[in-house]
Structure formats: C-alpha cells, structure tokens
Amino acid sequence: MFKTIKKEAEAIIVEKKSRFIANVFYVESIDEAEKILESIKKEHYSARHNCYAYRILEENGIIEKQSDDGEPSGTAGAPMLNILNKKKLCNVLVVVTRYFGGILLGTGGLVRAYSEATTDAIENAEEVEKEAGYVIEVLIDYDKQRELEYICEKNKINIVAKEYTDKIKNLIEISEEKYFEIFPKNGNEEFCKLPIKIVESKFIEKRE
C-alpha cells in the first residue's frame, strides 16, 4: 500500500513577474513519466525551464529522479523531490514550468517558488492510498446478481461496469487481499463456482 494522488492537477503562481506552472501526474512507470515530460516540454517549448521530480514504485524499490533544467543547482528539482518524500508520495510526477519575468529571484526565492507551486498542485490533486489489486470479470446468473452486489457493497468493492446478455458480466476492481479472501473461499459453494477471470493487475484506490 502506498500514498499517491487521485487525479492530475495544476497550480500557477507568479513571483516577481516570473510565472510558475506546476503540473502533477499519476504515473506507474519511468517510461510513462518520461513520455509526459517530453509532452510538457513540447507544449511549453518557449519556457525558460521545465523542472521536474518523480518517485515511482517498482519491484526493486522506489526510483527517484529530479532535474533543475538550467536553474541554479538545488533550487528546483531537489526541493520538489523533497516535498514528494516528506509527503511519502509514490507514482507521482511533478513538472514546474517557469516563464522568466526578467527579475532574478535568488536561490532562496527560487526554492520558495518551486516548493510553493509543487505543494499547491499536490493539494489540488488530492492525496489517496492505493494498493495492489485486480480487475476481475464475474459472469453471473440474473438471480445471483443481488447477492454479488451485496457482497461487494459490504466489502467496499467497486463494480465498475455491467453488461447484460443471457447472463450479467460484471467488471470489478478488488484488492489482492480481498480477492483471495472473498472469492475463492466465500463460504457459499454454489456462489464460488462462478467463472471468475482476472482481466488485469493494477493499483486500485483503497476504499474506506
């Protein structure tokens, strides 16, 4: 289980005529983060700096990277990464684009501006907890649907889609822990014989 952000978000601050545009993204791989970075750089090609920081959870641990992108060393990427660390956020990319306003801010001013823009964007993105889980497909008879919905509601499991044909096909987001706890050994032999297929593995938002 880890803390991350719920959605992409943006924050803009102006400091002595310089404009700082902070964007935060939920990412699940370094490749995904690098592609977003390239997109931001193309979008803001005329900006003086596109500084960034990210923390990404991988099998061997957390990968961290940051860049000052031409700002004085330690004034942009490092304080941005420090905020991600203090908040214990993973799978988050922060990019702060600076349009220079003609007035030098000094090292202290730069640290404050990049930190403030990053913090504001994270607040707009909302922090959540995520855990390892699956999207599963449950094909069920119509007379068993209410029982399935009751089990899901009771265990705070999200049915994300339903398809109605001769049976009802449910797509369900479920944590690894609850999947092995509920479906293979539910205590109802008839219910447990339902065809259940894992569609994909993914991190899912923890539901209280």
Residue 193 confidence (pLDDT) above 70: no
The whole-number pLDDT of residue 187 equals 43
What is the pTM assigned to this prediction? 0.81
Residue bearing tokens 């061997």: 60
- Tokens standing for residue 126: 């909302």
Mean pLDDT (the chain) is 91
Query: Residue range 33-50: average pLDDT?
Result: 94
Q: Inter-axis angle of helices 77-86 and 106-125, to 10 degrees?
A: 40
Q: Does 205 or 123 have the greater pLDDT score?
A: 123
Q: How far apart are CA 170 and CA 167, in angstroms?
A: 10
Query: Residue range 120-145: average pLDDT?
Result: 92
The whole-number pLDDT of residue 55 equals 97
Pair type for strands 18-26 and 168-175: unpaired
HSE value, Cβ hemisphere, 13 Å, CA-based, for 175? 14
Residue bearing tokens 């400091």: 15
